[in-house]
Structure 1
Amino acid sequence: MGIKLVAIDIDDTLLNPEGQLADETINAIQKTIQKGVKVVLCTGRPLAGVTIFLNQLGISGDDQYVITYNGAIIETVSGHRLAQHTLDFEDYLAADKLSYELNVHYNILDDESRIYTSNRDVGRITVIQAAENDEGLFVRNPEEMPQDLIVSKIMFVDEPEVLDAQIHKIKEIFDDRYYVVRSLPEFLEVLNKKANKGNALTDLLSELGLKKEEVMAMGDQHNDLTMFAVAGTTVAMGNAIPELKEVATYVTESNANHGVAVALERYVI
């Protein structure tokens, strides 16, 4: 049974260490698409932070899909939503309170890709995150936010050593209510319990009538583990965490050495 859909993480998987798409990767993905195989980007980013790469890869139309916010939203690349599992104003207030108690920078993303924080001393990582997102960064106190707020995800964003020191406490408080996952050394994400890449990919496969055996998934971090659980062929990057390499079908080259292209040449093209 051939592969009909390839699900690919973006940061440190699809992109090289400079945060760019290498020509080798673009060429391999375009060859994959030409064979009639769907390429679905599965990312913690909002759609506004993905569009530039979709355009470079030539992925467009209402029959092409993207999984954003770590699985909180499944949508077509043109923005039509198939499903969403989001958070609300009360969840936002809980994160705001914990941020100040633990002295960890945080922000939230709404369902239109806008980034909000009440941290007046906006953290360095938040600034970098906002630079990758066309919808902007807004500093607002909780009383300035609408109570019907739709939150796609909450992010504790800080230097890796800061998160390392507080991750146990955050999980201790939030694990029962939310899906809490480290997506990058600088990012700890808090989402709806139903929101993860694996659940979103399962929903998309059901929509498209595809079987697990027809799917390949590629990634590098903890938030890709749920995606690996629902794909027949799994590819860990050479730069992936050990936990992902242990369960992968194949360990490809690192993102510095065009690992996505190498894997596509091996299994699809």
Structure 2
Amino acid sequence: MNPVKKINPEKLKQIKLVLFDVDGTLLSDEGTIGEKSFTLIKELMKSDIKISLASGRLHSALVEIANSIGTSTPLISLDGALIKNGKGDIIVHKSALRKSIVNKSIELAEKYFVNIALCHSEAIYYTENNSLIPMILDKFGALYKEVESYNNFKDNTLEIVFAGDNRRTMEYLRDRLSFPFVFGTSVSFFRSHSHDNIYYLEIKKSGSTKADGLMRLLKHLRLKPEDAMVIGDWYNDIPMFETKAFKVAMANAVPELKRMADCVLTKTNNEDGISEILEALLNAKRKK
């Protein structure tokens, strides 16, 4: 039986915001939104459901998607470091790193010969010494810009990304940029999914998770966590699944996310899986 059919319609009637993860959820592996889901999203917005995105992508890599579906609701980018609408005239939250942390990160990268890039809302900046960055980073849809020096780009840095093939070195850098050596940072260390033997270290200001982004967006919209539906597939979606929002996991989601979900879809992102829950949501709204 389709698990979506088991959901209490009263739960769905309460939903006022649908928050999509992007890669592996809203988009297929080819970067497209399913035709059925696209139509359903449009119909849901006509029914006063707000639609937004929460992604590890840069803000600039979300704007085209937001424009295509016609949503004006602020978007959560870089896993919560920035919440801004597509036009850029509404900034709900911006969490830039302290300049001292940026300086220390650059010094460590140069000392240990590790690639480093500075992520801003519109582009990822790298220098000639870090020219491998565009080829080895998994930042979908990002604009990469080579600059002569990082000096003019240390302010407004939302995320610092290290990339290297020596796990021990990357783990050492992770420790040097975490408590107690550094205060106020959120550090993620993981292996690349698409590049063999490449490890990433991402540094953001504390309080920069998708869950933090969700709560700030809800406050801005004057909604409660129970008014939101979150849909995801990957580890960085776990914080959202720890909230009181209605949680939906894709068929292609990691096991941890499926265990936390209120509903697990039967189809993957390549099968327009989100259309299952969107159709159920629209039907529930129409039965009011």
1:47 is matched with 59
Contact 2:163 2:201 in 1 (8 A): yes
What does 1:110-125 align with in structure 2 at a 5 Å threshold?
110-111=120-121, 113-118=122-127, 120-123=129-132, 125=134
Distance, in Å, in 1 between the alignment partners of 2:275 and 2:163 is 30
How far apart, in 2, do the equivalents of 1:5 and 1:109 lie?
28
Give the Cα–Cα distance (whole angstroms) in 2 for the partners of residues 116 and 14 of structure 1: 27
Q: 1:83 aligns with which of 87, 93, 97?
A: 93
Q: Which secondary structure does the structure 1 equivalent of 2:231 belong to?
A: strand
Q: Does 1:180 align with 2:225?
A: no
Aligned to 1:212: 225
Change (3 A) 1:76 1:231: farther
Which of 104, 107, 110 lines up with 1:94 in the alignment? 104
**Residues 26, 56 of structure 1: 8 Å contact kept:** no
Which residue number in structure 2 is paired with residue 153 of structure 1?
159
- Preserved CA contact (<8 Å) 1:181 1:222: no
- Given that 1:96 and 1:118 are in contact with CA atoms closer than 8 Å, whether structure 2 keeps it comes out as no
Q: Does 2:140 align with 1:137?
A: no
Within the candidate set 269, 273, 284, 1:255 is matched to 269
Gaps of 5+ in 2: 1-10, 195-199, 284-288
From the superposition, tell whether residues 28 and 165 of structure 1 become closer, same or farther in structure 2 (CA, over 3 Å): farther
Matched residue type, 1:108: L
Q: TM-score, normalised by structure 2?
A: 0.78
Letter in 2 for 1:138: E
Change (3 A) 1:9 1:119: farther
How far does the alpha carbon of each residue in 1:24-62 deviate from its partner, in whole angstroms, 9 at most, with x for none?
A: 3312222221221111101122221111111221223xx
Write the distance in 2 (CA, Å) between the matches of 1:74 and 1:118: 27
Structure 1 residues 210 and 164 mapped into 2: Cα distance closer, same or farther (>3 Å)? farther
Mapped partners of 1:164, 1:12: distance in 2: 26
Question: Does 2:81 match 1:67?
Answer: no
Are residues 128 and 185 of structure 1, via their aligned partners in 2, closer, same or farther at CA, if it must alter by over 3 Å? Answer: closer
2:26 is matched with which residue: 4, 14, 33?
A: 14
Give the direction of change, closer, same or farther, for the CA distance of 1:163–1:193 in structure 2 (3 Å limit).
Answer: farther
Residue among 23, 26, 35 paired with 2:35? 23
Task: Supply the AA of the counterpart residue of 2:176.
Answer: I
Cα offsets for 1:112-153 (capped at 9, x unmatched): x1211235252265577678235x4123334x4356x11011
- Give the TM-score taking structure 1 as reference length: 0.83
RMSD, matched Cα: 2.7
- Distance in structure 2 (CA, Å) of the matches to 1:118 and 1:74: 27
**1:247, 1:163 → 2: CA distance?**
33
Q: Deviations over 1:92-120 (max 9, x none)?
A: 22222333455543311124x12112352
* Distance in 2 (alpha carbons) for counterparts of 1:21 and 1:199: 26
Q: 1:123 and 1:230 mapped to 2: Cα distance?
A: 38
Partner amino acid, structure 1, of 2:149: N
Name the SS of the counterpart of 1:13 in structure 2.
coil
C-alpha separation between the residues in 1 aligned to 2:54 and 2:44? Answer: 17
Tell whether the 8 Å contact from 1:73 to 1:83 is kept in structure 2 after alignment.
yes
Of structures 1 and 2, the larger Rg is shown by 2
The farther-off stretch of 84-93 and 168-177 is 168-177
Does the 8 Å CA contact 1:69/1:153 hold for their aligned counterparts?
Answer: yes
